[in-house]
Amino acid sequence: MQDTLPAPPRARHAVRPTGEERTFGTDELIVSKTDPRGVITYANDVFLRVSGYTADEVIGQPHNLIRHPEMPRAVFALLWGALAQGQEIFAYINNLAADGAHYWVLAHVTPSYGPDGRVLGYHSNRRRPSPRAVAEVTPLYGRLRAEERRHPHARAAVAASSRLLEEVVTERADSYEEFVWSVIHREER
C-alpha cells in the first residue's frame, strides 16, 4: 500500500474586486467560527457558497481571507476591541468572495467561552442587510477609507479613521451599537 500525504492547502492569492455584487437569501445565515486568533475553524454551507471558497480553502485560514480592501480598518478595530472586552458586536461588513464579487452582511459576532470561562474563539452569524441599510453605511465607510488613505502608516490610519468613526457615531447615536440598531430600525420601517 502506498502512503499518500494530504494535499497542501492552496496558496492564498490576491483577489481583486470586480464590482459585481452577490447576495443571499433573507432567510439564510452565513455562519463561521474562529479560534482566538481569528483563524477559521468552521464555515457553514452558506458561507462557502456565497464566498466561493471550499471548506478546505477556508478552514485554517485567517478570517480576513474575505476582507474587502474597501472595508474601513476602523470598523475592524472596533470589532476586535469589543471582542477583547468580552462583548458581542453587530456591524455592517462588506466581504470579498474568491472570484472578486462582494457581498454585504449584517454581522453579529460573539466570543465563545469554555467551561472555565476562557475565550475559545468567536462565533459569527451574518444576515443579508437591506439595500437601504447598505446605502446608509456606504458613504460613511467611504469617508473612513478616505481618512485612512491620508495616512502613510496603518497605525496612524486606523487611529484617524477610528476618531472620525467615533465623531460620526456620536452625532447620530450614543454608541456604534446604537448607530447600527438605528439603521436596522430604519430599514424595518
pLDDT, tens digit (0-9, with 9 covering 90-100), for 39-80: 999 999 999 999 999 999 999 999 999 999 999 999 999 999
Determine, yes or no, domain membership for 148. yes
Q: What pLDDT shows up at residue 34?
A: 97
Q: Which pLDDT score, from 0 to 100, does residue 47 have?
A: 98
Question: Which range of residues forms the domain containing residue 68?
Answer: 30-188
Which of these, 143, 141, 130, lies nearest to 183 by C-alpha position?
130
Of the pLDDT bands very low, low, confident and very high (cuts 50, 70, 90), residue 6 is very low
Asked whether residue 16 is domain-assigned, the answer is no
Count: domains in the chain: 1
Calculated CA dihedral for residues 184, 119, 50, 147, nearest 10 degrees: 60
Q: What is the CATH number of the domain that holds 83?
A: 3.30.450.20
Residue 14 lies in a domain: no
> How much helix, strand and coil, in percent to the nearest 5, is found in the chain?
40, 20, 35
Q: What's the mean pLDDT when you consider all of the chain? A: 91
69-128 residue pLDDT tens: 999 999 999 999 999 999 999 999 999 999 999 999 999 999 999 999 999 999 999 999
| pTM (predicted TM-score) | 0.88
Cell of 58: 477556508
Residue 79 lies in a domain: yes
Mean pLDDT computed over 144-165: 96
